[in-house]
Amino acid sequence: MTYKFLDHTSDIGVEVRSSDFKGALVEAIFGLIEIIFGKSFVDFDCNANFETLEISSFDKESLIVDTLNEILYLIDTRKIIPVKPEILDLSNNKVILRYKPFHFNFDDYPIHLYVKAVTFHQLEIIENENETIIKYFVDI
């Protein structure tokens, strides 16, 4: 796991580290899922065909917020946990995300924390030569 949770008076934050932005975005997704379900889905797999999701934004910060809010929407409405997420393409503030849709039920996968939204609050992207760090906070 290359993400950790950050303290916040009323909410919760995630700090992720990866060798590049693509990897950091995937880790950010895992962090969000762990906040919601209270457990890691990093090694989780399921028998389902991959689906893709395309998200366009106007800068990198928005791309993070928009991508994570899309994940939130999948969980909240379609009752899908996107497992084995992978970035197929990332260019011009557009991301193509591939994942296996795991249809969960609340008895086996109860919601640990209901997340209202992923926010721009204290959002940080630090890109070094060999490492990308993303920090984001969610409203709960």
Partner 1 sequence: MIIEKITDYKYRIPKSNFPFMRVDGIVYADETLLEAIKNDKTIEQIANTASLPGIVGYSLGMPDAHQGYGFAIGGVAAVDLKEGVVSPGGIGYDINCGVRLLATDLEYDDVKSKIEELVKQLFHEIPSGTGRGGDLKLSYPELDEVMKLGIDWAIQNKFARPEDKEFIEEYGRLPNANPDMVSNKAKERGRDQLGTLGSGNHFVEVQIVQEIFDEEVAKGFGLHKNQVVVLIHTGSRGLGHQVCTDYLKEMDAAMKNYGIKVPDRELACVPIDSKEGKRYLQAMASAANFAFNNRQLITYNVRNVFKRLFKTDKVRIVYDVCHNIAKIEEHNVYGKKMTVLVHRKGATRAFPAGHPALPEVYRPIGQPVIIPGSMGTYSYVLVGTEKAMEETFGSTCHGAGRTLSRHKAKKMMSADEAVSKLREKGVFIQATTKSGITEEIPEAYKNVSQVVEVVHQAGISKKVAKLKPIGIIKG
Least distance in angstroms from the C-beta of 19 to partner 1? 27
In the complex with partner 1, the residue whose CB is nearer, 41 or 137, is 137
Task: Please check whether residue 7 is in contact with residue 46, taking contact to mean a CB–CB distance below 8 angstroms.
Answer: no
Q: Does 92 bind partner 1 (CB under 8 A)?
A: no
Residue 5 interacts with partner 1 (CB under 8 A): yes or no? yes
Asked if 114 is part of the footprint of partner 1 (rule: CB under 8 A), the reply reads yes
Nearest to 113 by CA among 38, 28, 27: 38
Q: Is 108 in the site for partner 1 (CB under 8 A)?
A: no
Q: How many CA atoms lie within 13 A of 132 on its CB side?
A: 15
19 versus 56: smaller Cβ distance to partner 1: 56
Kindly state the DSSP code that residue 99 receives in the 8-state scheme.
Answer: E
